[in-house]
Amino acid sequence: MNRDAFSAFRIHNDPASGHRAGIETLQMQALSPGELLVEVAYSSVNYKDALAGTGKGKVLRQYPLNGGIDVAGHVVASTVPAFQEGDAVLCTGSGLSETRDGGYSQYIRLPAAWAIPLPTGLSLRESMILGTAGFTAALGLLQMEANRQSPSLGPIAVTGATGGVGMLAIDIYTRAGYEVNAISGKTDQFAALSELGASQCLDRHQLAFSGKPLDSARFGGALDNIGGKMLSGLLPLVQPYGNIAVCGNAGGLVFDSTVMPFIIRGVNLLGVATAATARDIREQVWQRLASDWKPRYLDRIATREVELEGLADVFETMLAGGSFGRTLVRIGKTA
């Protein structure tokens, strides 16, 4: 691969012409600084990437930047002894495509503090099928278990179950010994969710929340990608001392609740903020994802694979609600 001139999906927001994004030819001096120069093998597509790439969401804090909040590849140059040429590394979140160049590029510079050595048990490809989505699902479970979540409390409800986070959560949580109830409006995909391990699939359009401060407990806990009315409805249904890990807001930023689930049942509401996760926790999550929490069905969950040229179509499909599973972005040398 030519290091003097290489391709990247770059996002601009100029005062005169506004938002524009597309594939450009860059030189090394255009990249954000970092101790590691990485030849990129894979990235992935997350909802934030679609918002950033289309300009329909305020994700980037400076311009121009290369898109892509996930990246995996091989080190080709390092100024720190902890990483050597040829090392396989990954990075998710950590300011990629927000304050510095992201993974939609044939090369990326990374601060050594953000780069995670590829754990034994994962390939570069697998790490990007997981990406921020899998990391989010696993971080949610790690936080729930830190608050004494266990399979004995009952099934974990996973909302937005046909998205990347949701599908990976079903696979990860069942791998960890939990029963999972999948909640989605895409009833035509219920068979696929059952094949991933969901014991029950619930149509979100048919869920009848009573509006009571407390209702008959139905779930041991939940991973909620939706927020809004969904989160309001789930809180009264969680078993005593169960947990809801909140990681998305597709259904709205605001939710209504009383204090009753918290002071009567001891329910915990946990925030899952992946981008700035401390390194020791980040490493712990990736080790679990490479071992006892490694999903069984990654190839089923990776429903689409594109190169940089295919990103624009993927973004539009995702924002229109038409995506299913994870989209892998193949960029460079993948061996």
Residue 15 has pLDDT above 90, yes or no: no
> Predicted confidence band at 76 (pLDDT cuts at 50, 70, 90)?
very high
What would the mean pLDDT of 304-320 be, rounded to a whole number?
A: 96
Query: What is the distance in angstroms between the CA of the first residue and the CA of the last residue of the chain?
Result: 14
Angle, vertex CA 318, rays to CA 290 and CA 170, nearest 5:
35
Q: Please tell me the predicted confidence (pLDDT) of residue 323.
A: 85
**What is residue 239's three-state secondary structure?**
strand
**Average pLDDT score, the chain:** 96
- Taking the CA atoms of residue 145, residue 70, residue 166 and residue 126 in that order, the dihedral angle to the nearest 10 degrees is -90
pLDDT in tens, 140-166: 999 999 999 999 999 999 999 999 999
Per-domain residue ranges for the chain?
6-118+299-330, 132-271
Q: How far apart are CA 101 and CA 104, in angstroms?
A: 8
What is the arithmetic mean of pLDDT over 294-304? 96
Please report the pLDDT score of residue 335 as a whole number: 53
Contact at 8 Å (CB) between 329 and 43? yes
Assigned token pair, 280:
């020791």
- Read off the pLDDT of each residue in 71-81 and give the average, rounded to a whole number: 98
Q: Return the pLDDT at 3.
A: 79
Per-residue tokens: 315: 């973004």
Q: Tens digits of per-residue pLDDT, 210-250? A: 999 999 999 999 999 999 999 999 999 999 999 999 999 98
| 132-271 placed in CATH 3.40.50.720 | yes
pLDDT of residue 208: 85
Percent helix, strand and coil across the chain, each to the nearest 5: 30, 30, 40
CA–CA gap between residue 151 and residue 327 (Å, rounded) = 30
The architecture in CATH of the region 6-118+299-330 reads: Alpha-Beta Complex (3.90)
